[in-house]
């Protein structure tokens, strides 16, 4: 038995997210179809975690097993020729049997992009969340900084359709950096795990503080409140990228 780690980039615009679903086209489904066609045998692709509908990935990671060893170069080429152009297999590497795309992951990095110019950019419109109101950038930065550290993130986790109950809501975010870009902002989040819609809920809540809808003291109390209804709205998916999974 051979085990392989694959790294995938995708434009999530036209898909119902990563995870297999009935009656929807998902990244996992298309990847599995392509792998099965090349391997000529039913194949399960296990991802590092889900990404939601409309969310993008620069470096999603998954694993699969094969009875036969593979010529990695020609295998990657064959898989890419079967995938639609908005999904790319970036690399494939052999991994030991113990490797698991989800359980072996030590940390994940997400990027969230905000377009703050009044005029939309036709070329980045699908990859930036367009902010239609002004924000206080210093207050935005302060709000984001409150998420750094080890907290119970229950107030920032949507109920997932499956398996959420079992998840430990205590996560550690080691880094949140805010960068000014030409037409907006880029926020980078690095942490040992993220709950369902957690990044978008943190961004949405920090935006509500920065636009004067919520007081920053209220935000600080949300960790102990453990109530999703007290936090801000979920920010749009199009600005979110799963940038890297660290093992």
Binding interface with a copy of itself (CB under 8 A): 9-11, 56, 76-77, 80, 85-90, 118-123, 125, 127
Q: How far is the CB of 57 from a copy of itself (least distance, A)?
A: 9
Q: Under the phi-then-psi rule, with left for phi > 0, alpha for psi from -120 to 50, and beta for the rest, what region is 154?
A: alpha
Q: Which of 52, 69, 93, 217 is labelled catalytic?
A: 52
Distance of CA 176 to the CA centre of its chain: 15
Q: How far is the CB of 63 from a copy of itself (least distance, A)?
A: 19
Nearer Cβ to a copy of itself (113/196)? 113
Whether residue 52 lies in the annotated active site:
yes
Rounded distance, CA 118 to CA 220, Å?
31
3-state secondary structure the chain: CEEEEEEEEECHHHCCCCCCCCCCCCHHHHHHHHHHHHHCCCCCCEECCCCCCCCEEEEEEEEEEECCCCCHHHHHHHHHHHCCCCEEEEEEEEECCCCCCCCCCCEEEEEEEEECCCCCCCCCCCCCEECCCCCCHHHHHHHHHCCCEEEECHHHCCCCCCCHHHCCCEEEEEEEEEEEECCEEEEEEEECCCCCCHHHHHHHHHHHHHCCCCCHHHHHCHHHHCCHHHCCCCCCHHHEEEEEEEC
Q: How far is the CB of 118 from a copy of itself (least distance, A)?
A: 7
Q: Per-residue DSSP letters for 171-185?
A: EEEEEEEEEEETTEE
Nearer Cβ to a copy of itself (13/158)? 13
Nearer Cβ to a copy of itself (46/80)? 80
Nearer Cβ to a copy of itself (76/109)? 76
Q: How far is the CB of 122 from a copy of itself (least distance, A)?
A: 4
Q: How far is the CB of 17 from a copy of itself (least distance, A)?
A: 15
Nearer Cβ to a copy of itself (128/151)? 128
Residues annotated catalytic, as ranges:
52
């Amino acid at each position: 038995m051979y085990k392989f780690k694959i790294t995938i980039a995708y434009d999530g615009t036209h898909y119902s997210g990563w995870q297999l679903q009935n009656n929807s086209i998902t990244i996992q489904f298309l990847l599995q179809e392509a792998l099965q066609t090349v391997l000529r045998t039913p194949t399960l692709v296990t991802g590092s975690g889900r990404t939601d509908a409309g969310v993008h990935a620069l470096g999603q990671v998954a694993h699969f097993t094969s009875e036969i060893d593979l010529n990695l170069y020609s295998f990657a080429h064959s898989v890419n020729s079967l995938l639609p152009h908005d999904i790319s297999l970036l690399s494939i590497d052999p991994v030991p049997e113990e490797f698991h795309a989800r359980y072996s992951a030590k940390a994940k990095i997400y990027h969230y992009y905000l377009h703050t110019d009044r005029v939309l950019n036709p070329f980045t419109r699908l990859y930036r969340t367009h902010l239609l109101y002004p924000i206080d950038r210093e207050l935005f930065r302060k709000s984001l900084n409150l998420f750094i550290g080890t907290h119970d993130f229950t107030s920032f986790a949507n109920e997932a359709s499956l398996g959420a109950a079992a998840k430990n809501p205590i996560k550690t975010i080691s880094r949140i950096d805010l960068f000014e870009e030409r037409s907006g902002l880029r926020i980078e989040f690095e942490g040992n795990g993220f709950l369902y819609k957690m990044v978008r809920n943190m961004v949405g809540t920090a935006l509500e503080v920065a636009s004067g809808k919520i007081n920053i003291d209220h935000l600080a109390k949300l960790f102990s409140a453990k109530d999703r209804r007290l936090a801000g709205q979920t920010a749009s998916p199009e600005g979110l990228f799963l940038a890297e999974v660290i093992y």
